[in-house]
Structure 1
């Protein structure tokens, strides 16, 4: 958590002032009632005691203004969105794994070792390429191949937005294709493709997760080529909006947990994200 940065954030001080003044007003009103009906209770109270009221107001304001944890519950639909900093593969939920339309899995020439796909192979399948390939083959058995590409690795293309759902060790892994690989295995995507892919992803989560929570990385970073047009702050809002739009059509699951890597947290304005989540509650 970047405490120093948050203390320098105008949103924090604005929230602190608003909540502090509101709390001070409410406490003063209560104190006035006591003075009116039970004046003897306040008799003899001096300077040290009177500081209790602003101290309580300040403590309340600090709790309301501090951005941790960044989470918001929505009554309609009954769901929650939460941001956490940590390791995607340490989450006790189903997981979203971003992939390309060819569903390549082999590092390091095609898939980066430190990418989500690379970690998926290493952390979940203990680098057993053949096992993961077989599970993907089964998950894609009913999906239609729409073309081929002459490149190293897999050559069959599936429609962008295709979701290959793997159930492995009591977890569902939703492998969603939102990028295309060219002949040189360079990935690319667009905002339109990303939005459509997320819509199909949430449909699949709704169908297969039995309402259980799902964790997702910040979609659109890494090798997708989207980071120049969709910086991390916008990528988080994009993911939140896609989930909320899908949830308003029909509830997707009990919780979306967006997992931010520790090295990326310094680039995220948590206060702004919390305000954004709260604004969606008001408009729901």
Structure 2
């Protein structure tokens, strides 16, 4: 709980939010001074002076109280919950600790499911899959590798071999998923990016769209064990190959849109929770998300996954569809 509170405080006190809080405090001081001057002018001194003295004597408490009000107001914006009217599906966007959320947790890996964080350092410890490996299999990575191989083999998941790779040589198709139960929690590992011979992962703009399309289809097949599926914004951190103008907000759009369109034809989960870090929160445009929700509430029945997929591959932007929604 304490970690969540600290994460929330960190999220709010970005440069932009500090400026908002500072402006609110100085505006309050300016209004207070104007109010007190008006009192002194309008009321006899014996009535106005006690009020002026009280306000001046408690100014620091007043400013502190105002800062708390502004903080609490912005705290509410650390999460957004939306239930799609045309489907029994809820999407929650939340600033939280990913690994402490209830429900299944989806973790992206390279298409080799590499787990090497120590020797060849093919997986960064700071990445989501790196945190997963360190937190739950730090001293037993071989156990994780064994579970991955056994699960993929038991489900007859096809692979190809690339002897040029630094780590694991078996390569799986983008969007491949596998269920892993560990310490009473359900985890879903997915092949997200392509592992290159130099040891770096990469992804193109088209591959991102293909990944989402394949992911939802394969999740429907393995049947998510919990009603809630927790994910992060795929590719939120810099990854080689994605264009610089493919922003965090664009990725969030793609995830929400593809999930809703896929959910029209097959049950994936009752709630999709998109977990943000404090840095993610600073990039989020809540008004844009509200516009997106309003658009889908009104137009989801008119959209289909195939046409949407084709438009995105052709480079057609989804943003113009949102103009004037709210």
8 Å contact from structure 1 (residues 95, 215) kept in 2? yes
Matched, 1:190 2:204: yes
CA distance in 1: counterparts of 2:143 and 2:219, whole angstroms:
23
Written as runs of structure 1 = structure 2, the 5 A alignment for 1:16-55 is: none
- Say if 1:208 and 1:234 are closer, same or farther in 2 by CA, change over 3 A: same
Alignment partner for residue 126 of structure 2, among 107, 110, 114? 114
CA distance in 1: counterparts of 2:133 and 2:192, whole angstroms:
18
CA distance in 1: counterparts of 2:150 and 2:106, whole angstroms:
18
What residue is the counterpart of 1:255 in the other structure?
A: 271
Q: Which runs of 4+ in 1 moved over 4 A?
A: 3-8
SS in 1 for 2:90: strand
8 Å contact from structure 1 (residues 85, 262) kept in 2? yes
Which range is displaced more, 108-117 or 227-236? 227-236
- Say if 1:223 and 1:151 are closer, same or farther in 2 by CA, change over 3 A: farther
CA distance in 1: counterparts of 2:111 and 2:257, whole angstroms:
23
Alignment partner for residue 96 of structure 1, among 100, 103, 106? 106
Matched, 1:280 2:301: no
- Say if 1:227 and 1:176 are closer, same or farther in 2 by CA, change over 3 A: farther
SS in 1 for 2:252: helix
8 Å contact from structure 1 (residues 67, 271) kept in 2? no
Shift of residue 282 of structure 1? 1.9
What TM-score results when the alignment is normalised by the length of structure 2?
A: 0.64
Q: Which runs of 5+ in 2 are unaligned?
A: 1-10, 21-72, 301-326
What residue is the counterpart of 1:79 in the other structure?
A: 89
What residue is the counterpart of 2:239 in the other structure?
A: 224
Matched, 1:235 2:247: no
CA distance in 1: counterparts of 2:137 and 2:82, whole angstroms:
33
8 Å contact from structure 1 (residues 100, 180) kept in 2? yes
Q: Which runs of 5+ in 1 are unaligned?
A: 9-62
What TM-score results when the alignment is normalised by the length of structure 1?
A: 0.73
Count of residue pairs brought into register by the alignment: 228
Alignment partner for residue 139 of structure 1, among 151, 154, 160? 151
SS in 1 for 2:159: coil
Shift of residue 172 of structure 1? 2.5
What residue is the counterpart of 1:41 in the other structure?
A: none
Q: For the aligned residues, what is the CA RMSD?
A: 2.4
- Say if 1:248 and 1:205 are closer, same or farther in 2 by CA, change over 3 A: same
- Say if 1:267 and 1:165 are closer, same or farther in 2 by CA, change over 3 A: same
| 1:11-68 deviation digits (Å, cap 9, x = unpaired) | xxxxxxxxxxxxxxxxxxxxxxxxxxxxxxxxxxxxxxxxxxxxxxxxxxxx9xx756
8 Å contact from structure 1 (residues 214, 253) kept in 2? yes
| 1:178-236 deviation digits (Å, cap 9, x = unpaired) | 21111111111122222222222223333321461101011023353236242211111
